[in-house]
Amino acid sequence: MNTQAAMNAGPHESGPYHLVVVSGGTSDPSSTRMLADRISEKVARLAESREEKVLISTIDLRQLTTEISNALVSQLMGPKLTRAIELLGSADGVIASAPVYKAAPSGLFSSFFHVLDNDLLIGKPVVLAATAGTSRHALVVDGEMRSLFACLRTLTVPTSVFAASEDWNSKSLGTRIERAAMELLLLMESGFSHKIKEESWQNYQHEFGSAGGTELGIDLGSELMRLATGGRSQPQHG
Protein backbone atom coordinates (compact mmCIF):
# COMPACT_ATOMS: atom_id res chain seq x y z
CA MET A 1 0.00 0.00 0.00
CA ASN A 2 1.25 3.43 -0.73
CA THR A 3 -0.16 6.90 -0.75
CA GLN A 4 1.36 9.41 -3.10
CA ALA A 5 0.79 12.53 -1.09
CA ALA A 6 -0.01 13.51 2.45
CA MET A 7 -3.45 12.11 2.89
CA ASN A 8 -6.02 14.04 4.76
CA ALA A 9 -8.93 13.98 2.42
CA GLY A 10 -12.16 14.66 4.23
CA PRO A 11 -15.52 15.50 2.72
CA HIS A 12 -15.24 18.33 0.20
CA GLU A 13 -16.62 19.35 -3.11
CA SER A 14 -13.67 20.85 -4.92
CA GLY A 15 -10.82 18.49 -4.05
CA PRO A 16 -8.23 17.33 -3.51
CA TYR A 17 -10.03 14.09 -4.12
CA HIS A 18 -8.85 10.91 -2.50
CA LEU A 19 -8.80 8.13 -5.06
CA VAL A 20 -8.16 4.59 -3.84
CA VAL A 21 -6.98 1.93 -6.29
CA VAL A 22 -7.60 -1.72 -5.37
CA SER A 23 -5.65 -4.14 -7.53
CA GLY A 24 -6.08 -7.91 -7.41
CA GLY A 25 -3.01 -8.49 -9.59
CA THR A 26 -0.59 -11.08 -8.23
CA SER A 27 2.57 -10.63 -10.29
CA ASP A 28 5.00 -7.73 -10.34
CA PRO A 29 4.63 -5.99 -12.69
CA SER A 30 1.00 -6.96 -13.04
CA SER A 31 -1.23 -6.13 -15.99
CA THR A 32 -4.19 -5.80 -13.59
CA ARG A 33 -2.26 -3.17 -11.64
CA MET A 34 -1.11 -1.50 -14.89
CA LEU A 35 -4.67 -1.19 -16.08
CA ALA A 36 -5.73 0.35 -12.75
CA ASP A 37 -2.76 2.74 -12.87
CA ARG A 38 -3.62 3.88 -16.39
CA ILE A 39 -7.11 4.75 -15.21
CA SER A 40 -5.95 6.53 -12.04
CA GLU A 41 -3.33 8.51 -13.97
CA LYS A 42 -5.98 9.56 -16.45
CA VAL A 43 -8.24 10.68 -13.60
CA ALA A 44 -5.36 12.72 -12.15
CA ARG A 45 -4.59 14.35 -15.53
CA LEU A 46 -8.21 15.18 -16.23
CA ALA A 47 -8.47 16.68 -12.75
CA GLU A 48 -5.36 18.75 -13.33
CA SER A 49 -6.81 20.17 -16.54
CA ARG A 50 -9.81 21.26 -14.48
CA GLU A 51 -7.54 22.76 -11.81
CA GLU A 52 -8.34 20.06 -9.32
CA LYS A 53 -6.07 17.72 -7.43
CA VAL A 54 -6.28 13.99 -6.84
CA LEU A 55 -4.39 12.04 -4.18
CA ILE A 56 -3.96 8.39 -5.08
CA SER A 57 -3.57 5.49 -2.63
CA THR A 58 -2.99 2.01 -3.98
CA ILE A 59 -3.92 -1.24 -2.26
CA ASP A 60 -2.15 -4.27 -3.76
CA LEU A 61 -4.19 -7.19 -2.54
CA ARG A 62 -1.34 -9.66 -2.96
CA GLN A 63 0.28 -8.03 0.11
CA LEU A 64 -2.88 -8.75 2.10
CA THR A 65 -3.42 -12.38 1.05
CA THR A 66 -2.80 -13.92 4.49
CA GLU A 67 -4.81 -11.33 6.34
CA ILE A 68 -7.74 -11.64 3.92
CA SER A 69 -7.85 -15.43 4.32
CA ASN A 70 -7.59 -15.10 8.12
CA ALA A 71 -10.49 -12.65 8.08
CA LEU A 72 -12.56 -15.09 6.01
CA VAL A 73 -12.28 -17.88 8.57
CA SER A 74 -12.04 -15.89 11.82
CA GLN A 75 -13.03 -12.41 12.92
CA LEU A 76 -9.43 -11.28 13.03
CA MET A 77 -8.64 -8.24 10.89
CA GLY A 78 -4.87 -7.85 10.59
CA PRO A 79 -3.08 -4.48 10.63
CA LYS A 80 -2.65 -4.22 6.83
CA LEU A 81 -6.28 -5.07 6.22
CA THR A 82 -7.32 -2.55 8.85
CA ARG A 83 -5.24 0.13 7.11
CA ALA A 84 -6.78 -0.79 3.73
CA ILE A 85 -10.25 -0.38 5.25
CA GLU A 86 -9.28 3.04 6.62
CA LEU A 87 -8.11 4.10 3.16
CA LEU A 88 -11.32 2.93 1.50
CA GLY A 89 -13.41 4.59 4.19
CA SER A 90 -11.83 7.95 3.37
CA ALA A 91 -12.02 7.44 -0.42
CA ASP A 92 -13.93 9.86 -2.64
CA GLY A 93 -13.61 7.41 -5.53
CA VAL A 94 -12.40 3.86 -6.09
CA ILE A 95 -10.85 1.97 -8.98
CA ALA A 96 -11.31 -1.78 -8.52
CA SER A 97 -9.26 -3.94 -10.86
CA ALA A 98 -9.39 -7.73 -10.92
CA PRO A 99 -7.71 -10.49 -12.87
CA VAL A 100 -10.10 -13.03 -14.37
CA TYR A 101 -8.95 -16.66 -14.41
CA LYS A 102 -12.14 -18.72 -14.43
CA ALA A 103 -15.10 -16.68 -15.63
CA ALA A 104 -15.17 -14.57 -12.44
CA PRO A 105 -13.02 -11.98 -10.68
CA SER A 106 -10.20 -13.78 -8.86
CA GLY A 107 -10.89 -15.35 -5.49
CA LEU A 108 -8.49 -12.98 -3.78
CA PHE A 109 -10.25 -9.93 -5.22
CA SER A 110 -13.75 -11.22 -4.35
CA SER A 111 -12.66 -12.33 -0.88
CA PHE A 112 -11.35 -8.87 -0.07
CA PHE A 113 -14.67 -7.25 -0.87
CA HIS A 114 -16.56 -10.06 0.93
CA VAL A 115 -14.84 -9.31 4.25
CA LEU A 116 -15.54 -5.56 4.13
CA ASP A 117 -18.46 -4.40 6.23
CA ASN A 118 -21.65 -3.57 4.36
CA ASP A 119 -21.54 0.15 5.05
CA LEU A 120 -17.99 1.02 4.08
CA LEU A 121 -18.56 1.92 0.42
CA ILE A 122 -22.13 3.23 0.32
CA GLY A 123 -22.60 5.72 -2.52
CA LYS A 124 -18.92 5.86 -3.45
CA PRO A 125 -18.21 6.08 -7.21
CA VAL A 126 -16.28 3.07 -8.54
CA VAL A 127 -14.61 2.24 -11.84
CA LEU A 128 -14.67 -1.49 -12.49
CA ALA A 129 -11.76 -2.95 -14.42
CA ALA A 130 -10.54 -6.44 -15.25
CA THR A 131 -7.85 -8.21 -17.20
CA ALA A 132 -7.88 -11.69 -18.74
CA GLY A 133 -5.94 -13.84 -21.14
CA THR A 134 -8.88 -14.09 -23.51
CA SER A 135 -11.72 -11.83 -24.57
CA ARG A 136 -14.18 -14.63 -23.75
CA HIS A 137 -14.10 -13.27 -20.18
CA ALA A 138 -15.22 -9.80 -21.29
CA LEU A 139 -18.66 -9.94 -19.65
CA VAL A 140 -17.23 -10.70 -16.18
CA VAL A 141 -17.00 -6.98 -15.40
CA ASP A 142 -20.60 -6.13 -16.22
CA GLY A 143 -22.04 -9.44 -15.05
CA GLU A 144 -20.24 -10.53 -11.92
CA MET A 145 -18.36 -7.47 -10.71
CA ARG A 146 -21.15 -4.97 -11.19
CA SER A 147 -23.53 -7.09 -9.10
CA LEU A 148 -20.94 -7.46 -6.33
CA PHE A 149 -20.56 -3.69 -6.20
CA ALA A 150 -24.32 -3.19 -6.32
CA CYS A 151 -24.51 -5.38 -3.23
CA LEU A 152 -21.94 -3.10 -1.58
CA ARG A 153 -24.26 -0.19 -2.55
CA THR A 154 -21.59 1.63 -4.55
CA LEU A 155 -22.17 3.85 -7.57
CA THR A 156 -20.41 2.12 -10.45
CA VAL A 157 -19.59 4.28 -13.49
CA PRO A 158 -21.31 3.36 -16.79
CA THR A 159 -18.11 2.44 -18.63
CA SER A 160 -16.35 -0.71 -17.50
CA VAL A 161 -12.77 -1.32 -18.56
CA PHE A 162 -11.82 -4.80 -19.70
CA ALA A 163 -8.46 -5.67 -21.21
CA ALA A 164 -7.70 -9.06 -22.76
CA SER A 165 -4.23 -9.69 -24.20
CA GLU A 166 -5.19 -8.28 -27.61
CA ASP A 167 -6.58 -5.05 -26.13
CA TRP A 168 -3.31 -3.68 -24.77
CA ASN A 169 -2.32 -2.48 -28.22
CA SER A 170 -5.74 -1.15 -29.07
CA LYS A 171 -6.57 2.51 -29.24
CA SER A 172 -10.12 1.83 -28.11
CA LEU A 173 -8.86 0.64 -24.70
CA GLY A 174 -7.42 4.13 -24.23
CA THR A 175 -10.77 5.63 -25.21
CA ARG A 176 -12.62 3.48 -22.69
CA ILE A 177 -10.10 4.37 -19.99
CA GLU A 178 -10.57 8.07 -20.69
CA ARG A 179 -14.36 7.71 -20.66
CA ALA A 180 -14.37 5.79 -17.36
CA ALA A 181 -11.88 8.25 -15.81
CA MET A 182 -14.04 11.23 -16.77
CA GLU A 183 -17.17 9.55 -15.41
CA LEU A 184 -15.42 8.88 -12.11
CA LEU A 185 -14.13 12.45 -11.86
CA LEU A 186 -17.56 13.95 -12.55
CA LEU A 187 -19.12 11.71 -9.90
CA MET A 188 -16.44 12.66 -7.38
CA GLU A 189 -17.02 16.34 -8.21
CA SER A 190 -20.73 15.91 -7.60
CA GLY A 191 -20.01 14.97 -3.98
CA PHE A 192 -22.67 12.29 -4.30
CA SER A 193 -21.32 9.94 -1.61
CA HIS A 194 -20.87 12.80 0.86
CA LYS A 195 -24.39 14.05 0.21
CA ILE A 196 -25.74 10.56 0.80
CA LYS A 197 -23.87 10.48 4.08
CA GLU A 198 -25.21 13.88 5.11
CA GLU A 199 -28.76 13.71 3.83
CA SER A 200 -29.86 10.11 3.46
CA TRP A 201 -27.57 7.88 5.56
CA GLN A 202 -30.36 6.87 7.92
CA ASN A 203 -32.30 5.37 5.02
CA TYR A 204 -29.76 2.57 4.62
CA GLN A 205 -29.60 -0.45 6.92
CA HIS A 206 -26.56 -0.17 9.18
CA GLU A 207 -24.85 -2.17 11.86
CA PHE A 208 -23.38 -0.51 14.96
CA GLY A 209 -19.64 0.00 14.45
CA SER A 210 -19.70 -0.61 10.69
CA ALA A 211 -18.46 1.71 7.91
CA GLY A 212 -14.95 1.02 9.19
CA GLY A 213 -15.97 1.77 12.79
CA THR A 214 -17.50 5.16 11.99
CA GLU A 215 -21.16 4.13 11.99
CA LEU A 216 -22.09 4.92 15.57
CA GLY A 217 -25.63 6.16 15.23
CA ILE A 218 -28.12 4.39 17.51
CA ASP A 219 -31.82 4.97 16.97
CA LEU A 220 -33.19 5.06 20.51
CA GLY A 221 -36.73 5.49 19.20
CA SER A 222 -36.90 2.22 17.26
CA GLU A 223 -39.43 -0.49 18.01
CA LEU A 224 -36.67 -2.79 19.26
CA MET A 225 -35.42 -0.10 21.61
CA ARG A 226 -38.93 0.30 23.01
CA LEU A 227 -38.99 -3.46 23.57
CA ALA A 228 -35.55 -3.30 25.22
CA THR A 229 -36.92 -0.84 27.75
CA GLY A 230 -39.89 -2.88 28.88
CA GLY A 231 -42.32 -1.96 26.09
CA ARG A 232 -44.41 -4.17 23.84
CA SER A 233 -43.04 -5.52 20.57
CA GLN A 234 -46.12 -4.93 18.45
CA PRO A 235 -49.56 -3.51 19.05
CA GLN A 236 -51.62 -6.38 20.47
CA HIS A 237 -55.30 -6.83 19.86
CA GLY A 238 -57.88 -7.89 22.41
Residues that bind another protein (CB under 8 A): 69-70, 72-79, 207-209, 213, 216, 218, 220, 224-225, 227-230, 232-234, 236
- Kindly state the smallest distance separating residue 230's Cβ from another protein, in Å: 5
Task: Between 29 and 230, name the residue whose CB sits nearer to another protein.
Answer: 230
Q: Which is nearer to another protein, 31 or 70 (CB)?
A: 70
| Residue 43, CA distances (Å) to 47, 83, 139 in order | 6, 23, 24
User: Helices in 130-216 by DSSP H: which ranges?
Assistant: 140, 146-151, 171-190, 192-199, 210-213
Least distance CB 221 / another protein (angstroms) = 12
Interhelix angle 171-190/192-199, rounded to 10 degrees, is 30
Which residue type occupies 78? G
Q: Which is nearer to another protein, 150 or 224 (CB)?
A: 224
The angle formed by the CA atoms of residues 146, 71 and 155, to the nearest 5 degrees, is 20
| Minimum distance from residue 191 beta carbon to another protein (Å) | 28
Residue 75 CB, nearest approach to another protein (Å): 5
Pairing of strands 2-3, 161-164: unpaired
CB closer to another protein, 108 vs 184: 108
